[in-house]
Amino acid sequence: MNPGRRSVSQPLEPWMRESNFVLLFGAALAAHWIAINHVVPEPYMDEIFHVNQAQHYCAGDWSYWDPKLTTPPGLYLGPAALSLVFKTFGFTSIEICSTAGLRALNAVLALALLLATESLIAHFQSSYELKNKTRSTVSVSPTLRAFALCLFPVSFFFSGLYYTDTGSMTFVVLSYLSSVRGNHVASAAFSFVATLFRQTNIVWAIFVGAASVVEAFERQRVSRGLMQDIADFASFVVGHPWTVVQRAGPHIAVVASVALYYLQNDGVALGDKDHHQLSLHFPQILYFALFLFGFSIFTLQLKELLWAPRARSNLLAFFIPACVVATIFVYFFTIEHPFILSDNRHYTFYIWRRWFRKGIVYRLALVPLYSVSIFTTFLTFARSTSPIPALGFAAAVTLTLVPSPLLEFRYFLIPFHIFHIHNHRASLRQHVLQLALFLAVGAVTDALFLTRTFTWPSEPDARQRFMW
């Protein structure tokens, strides 16, 4: 943590102290871990493949690779290294590579995510308030914001299971944090580790490197409008090559090396390539915008964005073209992945079956809401940063999501997290309302996972559970 970067000069209320939130979040992680391991002690769903692979590595079997795994081995290298250290020093009784032990490591990563997120929010909130010569709408503790964000029900749910998402998010955030602190080599190293958890993190490595160059460009200058900013930025990049190399060079090296591997691998997916082909799935942008809008509803300044006189004219100018583009995306580029039609353990199965599969009219009915979602979330990001970072964020979201043919909420986690790291305009009341929403949704979805089971005729002895 870095208290010196706090945006609030007044002492925090006792209940808002940093240590209280860290302890509370740690207690929530522990309770979540205990509940899952008590009710579901055996690997569930994708854990079956992940736990199996990790245990092979822990046993020293480095030649084994499960052909069903599509992501790189980053998730398994940490447990294998810890297991080797424990064995070297004689701690053979510690079962680090059991299902419960592997899940516990993810919980530790989730705690690291909280700490890194708080520091990153503190940095950007301080910069925002200095730039705007204000202390936001209300003095909101970065620790409270990080606490609420890390309790987002989708990401918090997977912190109790042995999936790639928690590690993926943690190392992307650590890369971003190292970059804003000026340690670009460490930032690139964290980006490389992030790509070992999820291939698409190569896009966030580009984003972090580019954001560092933009930060140098925007220092001591005022935005002069989108088109002029873009032209000025291009001139800055051409005129300051050493700055670009110094700040983005390490990330360029990481991106180049990872991209070269993907070319040699003849694709991004490591296994099960038939079900993980790259696509042009443009509706993913629309799904994410609606997802972001729905779960951010309490922290968006909707009155300011939609109903102020100038806002209404901006919305009208944006709305019709956006609806046209969204209609084209929905009509010509919608993809029904076999997994979303066959796996009734995921919420997306029921959303798709009960709305999207009813016909094109139902799909097109969401177009106005997609357009409003994009308008409000993009403007929120742009007003908390500036036009160029907002465009960079939109580009990163597009490059991350569009190639994936499968609608899965886990794929939205990193852009959702980064959006809220930069959302400095909400008041304390708004953040508390968002936290209440997250807790309510998380309580319901956790209860469904732990208490509601069903069986498949093909596997009558296996209990299936609902999950994100």
> Which residue ranges make up each domain of the chain?
164-268, 275-426
* pLDDT single digits (tens) 33-52: 999 999 999 999 999 999 99
* pLDDT single digits (tens) 200-245: 999 999 999 999 999 999 886 777 778 888 999 999 999 999 999 9
Q: Which of 64-73, 82-91, 336-345, 352-361 has the lowest mean pLDDT?
A: 82-91
Give the pLDDT band (50/70/90) at residue 8: very low
Give the pLDDT band (50/70/90) at residue 275: low
Give the pLDDT band (50/70/90) at residue 137: very low
Instruction: State the DSSP string of 451-468.
Output: H-EEEETTEEEEEEE-B-
Helix (H, G, I), strand (E, B) or coil at 45: coil
Q: What is the mean pLDDT of residues 172-191?
A: 97
> Is the separation of the CB atoms in 251 and 187 below 8 Å?
yes
Q: Cα-flanking dihedrals φ and ψ of residue 346, to 5°?
A: -100, 145
In this predicted structure, the answer to whether residue 273 has a pLDDT above a threshold of 80 is no
In this predicted structure, the answer to whether residue 6 has a pLDDT above a threshold of 90 is no
Instruction: Output the pTM of the full model.
Output: 0.93
In this predicted structure, the answer to whether residue 139 has a pLDDT above a threshold of 80 is no
Q: Of 202, 158, 153, 135, nearest to 45 (Cα)?
A: 158
pLDDT at position 306: 85
CA distances (Å), origin 400, targets 236, 275, 368, 405: 27, 17, 24, 11
Give the pLDDT band (50/70/90) at residue 1: very low
